Amino acid sequence: MSFPDAGQAVPSTGTGNIKFSDLRLSYLSNGSSGGNEGLNDEEGVLKLSFFRGVSFTSGDPIPGEGAISIETEFCGKTFAPEEGEGEPEPESFSITIARLGEYGEEANTIFEGVKLEGPTSESIITHSYTAGDRSVTVLFNHGAFEFIVDEENLSNCTLNSEPTSEVVFEDEPPITTTVSITLIDPSKAVLIPIILN
């Protein structure tokens, strides 16, 4: 692969002339944005000023005013993909799972692969998730016949569906219950109150 293919830097002018059309092709192949709409028309008129405001993966964007130098502004740089593409940055949130009432046996909780153990009435864990996908699953390992999510007291999340329990043997309590929630605000803690009987 070579310039103007995606991911390739604009070469130095010392390697030969750089065509405006190759700059546009590199801009398009990298899925870049910004600049003049004329950059998106492969057959249309092209001016160097159309690149004003276009960003690169490193360094400064093309200035909004003043002279534009191909050597200074473009060479050695790779056009940046449009914002919002690629992997989103992870966000962190903390989740509190509160077991309400007295329940004698230990109840373990697995939240997106993180395990909470012990008979304590409340546990707090911090978990990272990917921005844009705020629907998460909490898996409860327990031995209770009745598992209830106290929906009235849910905080900073909504229940996606009724909890589902896996029953292994008839007339025995479920081993696991899965609760699917959607987070509302990652800057605030989530509270899921549950009742085990």
pLDDT in tens, 13-47: 777 788 888 999 999 988 888 888 889 888 888 99
Task: Please indicate, yes or no, whether residues 124 and 190 belong to a single structural domain of this protein.
Answer: yes
Return the structure tokens found at 130: 């990917």
Is 0.85 surpassed by the pTM of this model? no
Rounded Cα–Cα distance for residues 182 and 185 (Å): 10
The answer to whether the peptide bond before residue 4 is cis (omega within 30 degrees of 0) is yes
Q: What is the mean pLDDT of the chain?
A: 75
Percent share of the chain, pLDDT over 70? 71
Residue 64, in any domain of the structure: yes
pLDDT at 108: 54
Residue from 93, 89, 91 nearest 111 by CA = 93
φ, ψ of residue 44 in degrees (nearest 5): -80, 175
Judge if 31 and 112 occupy the same domain.
no
Q: Are residues 189 and 99 in the same domain?
A: yes
Instruction: Read off the pLDDT of residues 52-81 as tens digits, 9 standing for 90 and up.
Output: 989 898 888 898 888 998 888 999 999 988
Q: Which of 42, 16, 38 is nearest to 29 (CA)?
A: 42
Same domain, 60 and 129: no
Q: What is the largest CA-CA distance in the chain?
A: 80
pLDDT attached to residue 50: 92
**Coil, strand, or helix at residue 20?**
helix
CA distance 193 to 155: 9
**The domain boundary residue, chosen from 48, 74, 100:** 74
One domain for residues 136 and 109: yes
* pLDDT-based confidence at residue 85 (cuts at 50, 70, 90): very low
What pLDDT is stored for residue 92 in this prediction?
A: 54
> What residue numbers bound the domain in which 99 lies?
90-196
The answer as to whether 2 is a domain residue is no
Q: Is residue 181 part of a domain?
A: yes
Which of 16, 12, 36 minimizes the C-alpha distance to 24?
Answer: 36
Q: How many helices (DSSP H) and strands (DSSP E) are in the chain?
A: 1, 10
- Looking at residue 23, what is its pLDDT? 92
User: What was the pLDDT predicted at 84?
Assistant: 47
Give the tens place of pLDDT for each residue, 112-138: 555 555 444 555 555 555 545 677 777
Q: How many distinct structural domains can be found in the chain?
A: 2
Mean pLDDT of 162-177: 77
Percentage of residues in the chain having pLDDT higher than 90: 8
Residue 141 domain-assigned (yes or no) = yes
Query: Is the domain of 147 the same as that of 94?
Result: yes
Asked if the structure places residue 3 within a domain, the reply is no
51 and 136 both lie in a single domain: no
Statement: residue 51 has pLDDT above 90: yes
Do 119 and 48 have their domain in common?
A: no
- Considering 66-75, 107-116, 140-149, the range whose residues carry the highest mean pLDDT is 66-75
Are 28 and 113 within one domain? no
* 57 and 95 together in one domain: no
Q: Is residue 25 situated within a structural domain?
A: yes
Residue 84 lies in a domain: no
pLDDT at 104: 47
DSSP 161: S
> Looking at the structure, do residues 132 and 35 belong to the same domain, yes or no?
no
